[in-house]
Amino acid sequence: MDFMDHSVHEAAASGDVDFLRANIADDDILLQKTPNGSNILHIAAEFKQKNLFENIPNQSPLFWDTNKKGNTPLHVTARVGCDDIVKLLLTQPVSRLASGGVDQESGLTGKEAHKELVRRTNCEMDTALLVAVRYGHGGIVNLLMEFDHELCCLTNSANESPLFLAVRQGFLSIARSILQEYQICPSFQGTQDVTALHAAITRTGKEAAGNKLPGIN
């Protein structure tokens, strides 16, 4: 693997589409990665450069590529909170070629390709939805849930469900959205057998204690 040239990194971070178009035919550019394994789309996501995503061929493996933490560009987008890139990834045509092959018919297209992308997990078994919940990006949570309701049933390696994370982090609007807006029963699972309900009761108790009148112990 070739480490990424500084000029490539700068182009990805600044959304320099002209640089990309001039070098897109150079496979070496697309294969370059940072020391943490990020490709140009990971970097574009970090800096919310939607235009770079719009100029990558929809069959590019860059959309599916992972860095050393197992994060796809969608995971990064969910962390930084760029709704526009998530909308683009969920609506533009994408294709996932079969592993090791070039025959598109043996790979995934359309809805199946999108579903595999949104359900990809990183090294912590976090989906992009779990990442979006952890950082409180309600708009992205709604976009992902509208696309695939069953994402709220998936837990990570710590057994954390999206609903549990939302309650524990205090993002109650996200928790309400998961519970009320979608016709599916979400997972309540949490760490060490603590469920979202337990977390809600604990948080309610802490908030009640914090709201005591001055002088009352």
Q: For CA atoms 190, 143, 182, 172, give the dihedral sign.
A: positive
What's the pLDDT tens digit per position in 60-100?
889 999 999 999 999 999 999 999 999 999 998 777 654 43
- Report the b/e string of 171-205 with b at 16+ CB within 10 A: beebbebbbeebeeebbbbbeeebbbebbbeeeee
Per-residue model confidence (pLDDT) at position 159: 96
- What was the pLDDT predicted at 205? 46
Which of 141, 162, 152, 30 shows the shortest CA–CA distance to 90?
141
Q: Of 165, 170, 156, which Cα lies nearest the Cα of 194?
A: 165
Q: Is residue 170 part of a domain?
A: yes
Q: Give me the mean pLDDT over the 45-68 stretch.
A: 93
Residue 163 within any structural domain of the chain: yes
Residue 106 within a domain: no
Using left for φ > 0, alpha for ψ between -120 and 50, and beta otherwise, residue 122 falls in beta
Each residue of 92-144: pLDDT tens digit?
877 765 443 333 444 666 788 899 999 999 999 999 999 999 999 999 999 99
Query: Per-residue pLDDT tens for 7-26?
Result: 999 999 999 999 888 876 66
Q: Which of 117, 132, 119 is nearest to 62 (CA)?
A: 117
* Structure confidence at residue 23 (pLDDT): 79
Is 116 within 8 Å of 108 (Cβ atoms)?
A: yes
Q: Which domain holds residue 175?
A: 149-212
pLDDT of 198 over the 60 cut: yes
Instruction: State how many domains the chain has.
Output: 1
Domain membership of residue 13 (yes or no) is no
Counted residue by residue, the chain has a size of 217
State the average pLDDT for the chain.
Answer: 85
Q: How many Å apart are CA 187 and CA 42, to the nearest integer?
A: 29
Residue 195 resides in a domain = yes
Asked whether residue 85 is assigned to any structural domain, the reply reads: no
* Region for residue 196 given its phi and psi (left: phi exceeds 0; alpha: psi -120 to 50; beta: otherwise): alpha
- Can you give the pLDDT at residue 120? 97
Give residue 192's region: left, alpha or beta (phi > 0; psi -120 to 50): left
User: Of 199, 197, 217, 200, which is closest to residue 209 (Cα–Cα)?
Assistant: 217
